Amino acid sequence: MGIREVAKEAGVSVATVSRVLNHSGYVKEETYQKVIAAIRRLNYVPNGVARSMVKGSTRTIGLILPDITNPYFPMLARGVEDAAITQGYLVILCNTDNNPDTEAMYLSMLREKCVDGLVYVSSSSSTDHVRAFARHLPVVWVDRMPVGVEGDVVAGDDLLGGYLATRHLLSLGRRRIAFIAGPDGLMTAEERERGYRLALKEAGLVPEDELMARGDFQFASGRRAMTEILGRTRPDALFASNDLMALGAMEVIAEAGYRIPGDIAVVGYDNIMFARLAKPPLTTVEQPSYLIGVTACEVAMERIARRELPVQKKLFKPTLVVRASTQGERE
């Protein structure tokens, strides 16, 4: 059953049915009621595909992110979806695992599906696919924008976050502050490291290689990195560039017989739900991930509506959440 059957049932033309459906044009109250009644009787639902075709818009946005299973992303995704639905947009979820091939595949599928825009939590290299895509469609970059690509971006201020975390440890009198870096080439991770270095420098300290190791933002890599570090030196603090790695590191620290924060104070990043449940509760840098998601989606929808808008860059300030992993007392 399509608009045709409804028209016949109501004894009017398809044009009239379309008008009542879209509240467009003039239609007599009486006719309106007839059509509404027919729609009810037939339990008619307009076909969005046909509508999309003629309107040139699908009211759909794609959300591309590394892995919804990573505890940082659900909040962000939720923000995107909540914002989308307020304007009648639906969101298609795509997990890329940071795999460029997977990214490329989703990109081409989304383009073919004619999504109206994209919220893109990129993580790895900027491929040509991405660049080409961004020319065709509104793309809002979250947390990271590949080099050489212009566009809207919504992100947390990771430089500031790294700086705050490190400053906090310094203010506690810690001087040998270990650092677990994130994936190489990932802007988010690099900025946090820059913040770390900046704070050290301000304090007249020099970052030492033996205090640093690299992880991939997963729990297990936090364990590995901390094992590495403890194997060659003895820090009095740790700043891990995300909570998952911080949690992994804390396990290793405890297993090695050190006390947190007595021997080693620990700061993470993200304030995922379980940071406060850790033993001891983890001091961390909180990002307003829900808000970031909401904002990214809003920017995307704005741009969809007005392609010629000036480029927007929105940076959200992180805040330090101090807990027992640095303070020694219960939250």
Give bridge partners of residue 94 from the DSSP assignment.
Answer: 64
**Residue 100 interacting partner from DNA, a copy of itself, none (CB closer than 5 to 8 Å by kind):** none
Angstrom distance (rounded) from CA 131 to CA 184? 21
**Residue where the block lists tokens 């992880």:** 215
**Residue 12 interacting partner from a copy of itself, DNA, none (CB closer than 5 to 8 Å by kind):** DNA
The tokens for 77 are 């995704």
C-beta closer to DNA: residue 39 or 145:
39
Contact by Cβ (8 Å): 294, 134: no
- What percent of the residues of the chain are helix, what percent strand, and what percent coil, each to the nearest 5? 50, 15, 35
C-beta closer to a copy of itself: residue 119 or 199:
119
Contacts of 142 (CB under 8 A, 6+ apart): 65, 76, 119, 120, 121, 122, 153, 154, 155, 292, 293, 296
**Residue 21 interacting partner from a copy of itself, DNA, none (CB closer than 5 to 8 Å by kind):** DNA
Contact by Cβ (8 Å): 68, 95: yes
Q: In angstroms, what is the minimal distance from the CB of 92 to a copy of itself?
A: 5
**Residue 24 interacting partner from DNA, a copy of itself, none (CB closer than 5 to 8 Å by kind):** DNA
Angstrom distance (rounded) from CA 83 to CA 190? 29
C-beta closer to DNA: residue 51 or 234:
51
**Residue 274 interacting partner from a copy of itself, DNA, none (CB closer than 5 to 8 Å by kind):** a copy of itself
Binding residues for a copy of itself, rule: CB under 8 A, are 43, 45-50, 52-53, 58, 60, 63, 67-69, 71, 73-75, 77-78, 81-82, 85, 88, 90-95, 105, 108-114, 132, 219, 247, 251, 273-274, 277-279
C-beta closer to DNA: residue 90 or 273:
90
Binding residues for DNA, rule: CB under 7 A, are 2-4, 11-16, 18-19, 21-22, 24-28, 30-32, 44, 46-47, 50-51, 53-56
**Residue where the block lists tokens 């770390």:** 196
C-beta closer to DNA: residue 26 or 330:
26
